[in-house]
Structure 1
């Protein structure tokens, strides 16, 4: 099996990087981070304006990403999409992770392939979608979202964000550009009495007017539970791609600093201890890259779990080592290194934690052994 990128895939990755360098440069990232930090907890009002920074979300940029096809890469051409596959989405999300692009990118991409009036506009970047996982994980960018993609045990639904917000409370986020909300512990679903069966009251105020039952071709298993499991796996893989982008970027930052920072009359990169740190960072990033790219092709649950596990480790450990290479300067607010570490911590807990990935891998090994016996 050949995992080398095609010319079209390289062009897609290059185009995405150039778009983000033009529309989300370092100055824009710092404006988002410094603005949210000044507000104290990273939680902001709904960002409805073109340059509104609700949780670091720029609606104009979001629409431009939609116009560039980021959220419609897997939507069929017959439906107005690009008609590509999961590997291409992984490449694009790797670049988003490299740039520390804020926003519920994963949820919006997943929702772009779902039918329903509430999810309409996700592919074009007109509708901002965040996600609610039945595992009880925090919801990101709820104040900026229009709708919430709820992955429930037996259903996949799209719910207005205002409805979810009624039972949510803000929580402190280690990442200043990723505001988080947590639902009340007893309520995984915002309104458990509302079931969408398309039979609301005649006055138009029933659940059918507020909640869309998601519809998407399900190849992962029977019923809605199979679709939810498939979407969770895809979300874990796209999150791993973002982690991979961050891990690769911290390698670049560390190497660049080691080349230009001098001590005792020569660049610190000339010292073996620094060289070893940078080499270990590169090995982590490239090892994660191989597994993430392979998982994008196979879409195997075990491969995706391995990809998430290795990408999380690469992003977190590379950011820590990058801090070490930068020395005391790396711990300052003005440096960008700490932003990669904080975002990596947040992503590591999203969709599939390290413990959950290890359980998935262990279950696969047990199944293989039982098959061989």
Structure 2
């Protein structure tokens, strides 16, 4: 069986990486940190590029691709720290008018948290009694929602894809810094301790990538995220839960190790490393937590 990405999938990933590099590069990221307001023009560009309608059938005006392609695109979004309720708006395509084109911003409650509630045009799920929650991530305003968590399987997997993108990016940042930062007249990347940190980051990333890609290939879901990416009752199966568990671990631990490689520089506001760590912490608590994922896996075993 062939598991390598096809030429079309590679082109899709490359295209979105170029789009995000052009529209949400370093300057735009920093501007968003200083003023965390949703960029509606960018949101519509993402809609025009097919981010939200990617899995919508062509007959309904969508791109007509599947979950594996959506995972590749959301991985790029995680890599660039793209803010906004991306997963919720993607899930709403085909059910909420304007969500597929990015003209409507959709937020969604997982029963515990909802992001970008104040800026959303539509909200999926119950948000009565939602209270503002101080978010550790300056790019992700949050509200706490009373009630039990209600994970959407596709949302779990797409969030895992974002975590994967962040883990890959912090690995790159660590390696790049280790190659140019010198100590005792040598790049710090030549020191065994730093080599080991970078190698461990790469291993975590690739293990998470294998899990996320495998879950995407072996599962499919409808645009609302409640399809068969799960056990048939709207609950993620062990494979999806495992993918989220591994991706959360890779994103959080890689960001911490990236800080370690950067040393004191990594803890400064000017470095992007802390933004990846804060976003990884937030995503780890969305849709399904580490403990909830572990329970699903244990039950399957």
TM-score (norm 1): 0.74
How much has 1:91 moved relative to structure 2?
Answer: 0.2
Spell out the pairing of 1:231-246 with structure 2 (5 A cutoff). Answer: 232-246=152-166
Spell out the pairing of 1:158-307 with structure 2 (5 A cutoff). Answer: 164=127, 167-183=129-145, 185=146, 232-299=152-219, 301-307=237-243
Residue of structure 1 equivalent to 2:98: 121
Alpha-carbon distance in structure 2 between the residues aligned to 1:188 and 1:32: 31
Residue of structure 2 equivalent to 1:330: 266
Higher Rg: 1
Contact 2:60 2:94 (C-alpha < 8 Å) held by counterparts: no
Alpha-carbon distance in structure 2 between the residues aligned to 1:357 and 1:132: 18
Q: CA RMSD in A?
A: 1.5
Spell out the pairing of 1:140-151 with structure 2 (5 A cutoff). Answer: 140-150=115-125
TM-score (norm 2): 0.92
SS at match of 1:101: coil
Give the paired residue count.
Answer: 285
Alpha-carbon distance in structure 1 between the residues aligned to 2:46 and 2:277: 25
SS at match of 2:107: strand
Contact 1:107 1:235 (C-alpha < 8 Å) held by counterparts: yes
Alpha-carbon distance in structure 1 between the residues aligned to 2:34 and 2:46: 23
Spell out the pairing of 1:76-87 with structure 2 (5 A cutoff). Answer: 76-87=57-68
How much has 1:133 moved relative to structure 2?
Answer: 2.1
Contact 1:106 1:239 (C-alpha < 8 Å) held by counterparts: yes
Which runs of at least 4 in structure 1 moved beyond 2 Å after TM superposition? 166-169
Residue of structure 2 equivalent to 1:109: 90
Contact 2:110 2:286 (C-alpha < 8 Å) held by counterparts: no
How much has 1:168 moved relative to structure 2?
Answer: 2.4
How much has 1:257 moved relative to structure 2?
Answer: 0.1
Report whether the alignment pairs 1:13 with 2:13. yes
Alpha-carbon distance in structure 2 between the residues aligned to 1:7 and 1:271: 38
Residue of structure 2 equivalent to 1:207: none
**One of 235, 252, 256 as aligned partner of 1:316:** 252
Residue of structure 1 equivalent to 2:75: 94
Residue of structure 1 equivalent to 2:108: 131
Report whether the alignment pairs 1:63 with 2:40. no
SS at match of 1:139: strand
Alpha-carbon distance in structure 1 between the residues aligned to 2:3 and 2:123: 35
**One of 280, 286, 296 as aligned partner of 1:350:** 286
Residue of structure 2 equivalent to 1:364: 300
Alpha-carbon distance in structure 1 between the residues aligned to 2:148 and 2:253: 32
SS at match of 1:144: coil
How much has 1:337 moved relative to structure 2?
Answer: 0.2
Where does structure 1 lack aligned partners over 5 or more consecutive residues?
37-52, 153-163, 190-227, 366-373
**Which of structures 1 and 2 has the larger relative contact order (alpha carbons within 8 angstroms, sep 6+)?**
2
